Homo-oligomer: A and B are copies of this chain.
Amino acid sequence: MTFGESHGPALGCVVAGCPAGIPLETDVIRRELARRRPGGGGTATTRQEADLPELLSGVFEGKTLGTPIAIVVRNTNQRSGDYEDLRDLYRPGHADWTWEAKYGIRDHRGGGRTSGRETLGRVAAGAVAKALLREYGITIRAWTSQVAGILVPGPEDPGFDLEEGEKNPLRIPHRETAAQVLTVIEAIRKERDSAGGTVSCRVEGLPPGLGEPVFGKLDALLAMAMLSLGAAKGIEFGAGFAAAQGRGSALNDRPVPVEISPLPPGVPGLAYPENQAGGVLGGIATGMPLEFRVAFKPVPSIGQLQQTVDRRGAIRELIIQGRHDVCMVPRAVPVVEAMTALVLADLLLLRRCNRLES
């Protein structure tokens, strides 16, 4: 549960259902929020918010109480005046009009609740979920895997280095590609245009058996979580859309026996080294790395002249001012991780109810 509008007093989240006894410090949350902030490098908005989280409840003497955890982040660096001329205009590619068609009212300042700032609450909640996953030895790493048509080499490439990705503002874990993309982004910025891209995510350490068929499947819940992100237009798991062009004989991962624990009595350990399934079969984790990719459309706020419609139904011309990302894909990386953490934490708790012995 998140709350808050881009230019309201604050944004935040309430995390219910977190077990008691998990170590949790404000600092951990602050660090995740910092990863979400505009990182420079010309890709990002120049709006600078401190984004300091305040932990209002649910934690006592450094550990979770089992009660709801409320986290609030104040909005401080608002220049709402920037948006006054958008009060009666519907920006192309934004949800301004659909929002009004739905509610009859909207907070026009910075997109209100549709703003990317809404993800602050998600990232804060995700930091709590990550603290839980840490207890299980589960790690989640996402990265920018394509920008403006330039593909980033994957984990099989010798130059792939996730630590490198954390250092550059593009979250591209491949030094040469990062440099190449920066040049392209700079060119797009000069054209007052914007670029889309994809985020890849890889989860290691998942226990086999995670995921609740038929209506709480691991991949289905992740698909919902990712498509709930503002600019997401698609998701694929493992071989994904390419699998739809292939043959069963090529796409069936071959199982091999391995030692895993714990498993229910009488069930042998299995691994699927080819992992074209992306770590999920029948909506249940196989124990292999979970792999998926999310497509994001370009930021719709561009500095070029666009044609649109105003509240009276008249056609108008518009040049969007204000502070906006050229490409928000790098900033989506920690959000994808946070949403993944929230889905996995839920499923980990639910899994305890699957069998009496578990």
Contact = CB atoms under 8 A, between A and B. Distances in A.
A283 interface: yes
Given A56-B72, A255-B308, A20 B245 contact: no
A215 B16 CA distance: 11
A16 to B, nearest CB: 7
A217 B224 CA distance: 9
B214 A2 contact: yes
Nearest to A349: B353
Contact of A299 (B12, B20, B248): B248
Nearest to A292: B234
Interface in A182-211: 188, 191, 193-198, 208-211
Given A98-B284, A98-B285, A354-B102, A196 B233 contact: no
Contacts of A98: 208-209, 211, 280-282, 284-286
Interface residues of A, number: 153
Contact of A244 (B4, B21, B213, B295): B295
6 contacts: A9-B56, A97-B208, A103-B355, A195-B248, A198-B244, A215-B228
A12 B94 CA distance: 32
Interface string A256-292: 1100000111111110000001101111111100000
A268 B96 CA distance: 12
Contacts of A5: 57-58, 60, 65, 67
A188 to B, nearest CB: 7
A155 interface: no
Contact of A135 (B57, B107, B198, B356): B356
A93 interface: yes
A98 B260 CA distance: 13
